[in-house]
Amino acid sequence: ALPTAFLGFRCSRASHECARHSRSPSKAMLLLYTCVGHTLPPRALRGAAHGAAYARPLDLGAAYARPLVLRAAQPPLLLLDEESGDINDGGISSVNWVTVDASGPDVEPTEEEGTSVMPLFPLGAAYLPHTTPVLNIFEPRYRAMYNDILFNGARRFMVTNVEPETGALAEVGVVFYLDELKEVSEQTQDRVKYIGQHRVINRVRLRRVLNPSVVATRDTYLKAEVEVLSDSDQQEEGKPDEGLAAEEAAAEELFVSLVDAQKSLGEEPRFTDAVKGSLSFARGTSPSDRGLWGTIGLWQQFLEQRTQVLGQKMQREIQSGVASYLSDNSLREDLVNARGEIRLQDLPPELIAEIEAIQRRYRGEVDALDGEPGSLRFQALLQSDSHRQRLALFCTWLRKEQKRLATRKSLQSLFSSGDAKGEGEGGAPDDKS
């Protein structure tokens, strides 16, 4: 069964298989890892608090004597270029980063007005306000952090994105407020200590890291001085901005037109008509009234589903190619372990080349869709100074998708007319001839 958050989508059943195993990747592009038949986000390989890699057998049936698993080396073998050609598009270039000098001295907070000190948890993702994230806590330093915020009653900490290449921290992050903490040491053989349920209650700016030395030692968690942010266009109560209301209405009309276009083209996955009644482009105030943040979250989930559909298609094609190869060739028995597993780099070069070609083709499809769910575009939205700026940036994404759908519709019409013409030319000869 799909989580409730996905009920706004229509999606083929095959694409559901990966939904429970992955979240949005944290890079400006999606990396495809052929390790276990899943499309895994980079954070699953960096040991984030909630990342995990899952293995699934690749059953080749009669083509091989026993089930075979393609398993990557440690670290996983990357077969794709990590550079994205549109890195400066969609607001990504505007994202501000803070570099932490691990050799620098620990410092005291400035105690300036409007600032506060709290733990800092870098998580490699842009979490959106008014969401309710769940984290699995297993690292000793973060076990200690949770013990501390419970003991002092604060129950809150800053979560910020991480630049995957440099390790720099996003200047703007969010505050997690801990609602519920369950100890699961016994059930998980101490692999996971806590499962925490949180609310994202504020956007904050990272003013300074107070104990940068622990970046290198990892002895304990980071502490930061932060500043709570509010929208620069926040209106006084009772004084609505009529111009902004018109912009919100135009954005909703644009989104609804996309839903209709997806339906007419038979897109998979796509939004259902039911989602039209739940859209909001207002500012948002709480988890029960998320406003534009809720609609942005819905869009992010749609991108996840669409990427997973492509990942599933890619894996099925790879499996088919491997099965076809093994129907005419054999593998060295010493390379296959007792569990029927083989490392990816131990496959024959010609088979690796075929897998790489399939991956490159699907990578091109992901790039063409311009819809990677873990893109730094979401970090750019989080950093936006105003609701109006956020709304305008989101609308640029929607218009780009609208243009893509219009192009696809034109191509469909072109091919349909070409097929009809071909049938007419190849029909029965005229009786008079």
Q: Where are the domains of the chain?
A: 97-228, 244-414
pLDDT surpasses 90 at 419: no
Q: What is the C-alpha separation between 157 and 222, in angstroms, rounded?
A: 10
Reported as a pLDDT band with limits 50, 70 and 90, residue 427 is low
- The pLDDT of 73-80, averaged and rounded, is 29
Burial class (CB in 10 A: 0-12, 13-18, 19+), 83: exposed
Structure tokens that stand for 364 in this block: 């091109």
In this prediction, residue 181 carries a pLDDT of 94
pLDDT surpasses 70 at 82: no
**283 and 292 Cβ atoms separated by less than 8 Å:** yes
pLDDT surpasses 70 at 248: yes
In this prediction, residue 249 carries a pLDDT of 95
Torsion sign (Cα): 409, 414, 417, 418? negative
Q: What is the C-alpha separation between 359 and 79, in angstroms, rounded?
A: 8
Closest alpha carbon to 68 in 106, 23, 36: 36
SS3 195: strand
In this prediction, residue 322 carries a pLDDT of 86
In this prediction, residue 71 carries a pLDDT of 37
HSE toward the beta carbon, residue 301, CA cutoff 13 A: 23
In this prediction, residue 23 carries a pLDDT of 35
Q: Which residue has the tokens 């790039």?
A: 367
Mean of all residue pLDDT scores within the chain = 77
Reported as a pLDDT band with limits 50, 70 and 90, residue 328 is confident
Q: 408 or 423, which is more confident?
A: 408
Structure tokens that stand for 259 in this block: 């839903």
Q: 59 or 220, which is more confident?
A: 220
Query: What proportion of the chain, given as a percentage, has pLDDT over 90?
Result: 48
In this prediction, residue 264 carries a pLDDT of 93
Reported as a pLDDT band with limits 50, 70 and 90, residue 51 is very low
Beta strands 156-160 and 115-122 are parallel
97-228 under CATH 2.30.130.40, yes or no:
yes
pLDDT surpasses 90 at 169: yes
In this prediction, residue 91 carries a pLDDT of 66
In this prediction, residue 405 carries a pLDDT of 92
Q: Which of 97-111, 147-161, 387-401, 409-423 has the lowest mean pLDDT?
A: 409-423
Q: 258 or 328, which is more confident?
A: 258
Q: Which of 53-57, 91-95, 356-360 has the lowest mean pLDDT?
A: 53-57
- The pLDDT of 121-138, averaged and rounded, is 93
**297 and 279 Cβ atoms separated by less than 8 Å:** no
Reported as a pLDDT band with limits 50, 70 and 90, residue 92 is confident
Q: Which of 127-136, 199-208, 232-241 has the lowest mean pLDDT?
A: 232-241
Q: Which one of 56-70, 110-124, 368-382 scores highest in mean pLDDT?
A: 110-124
pLDDT surpasses 60 at 85: no
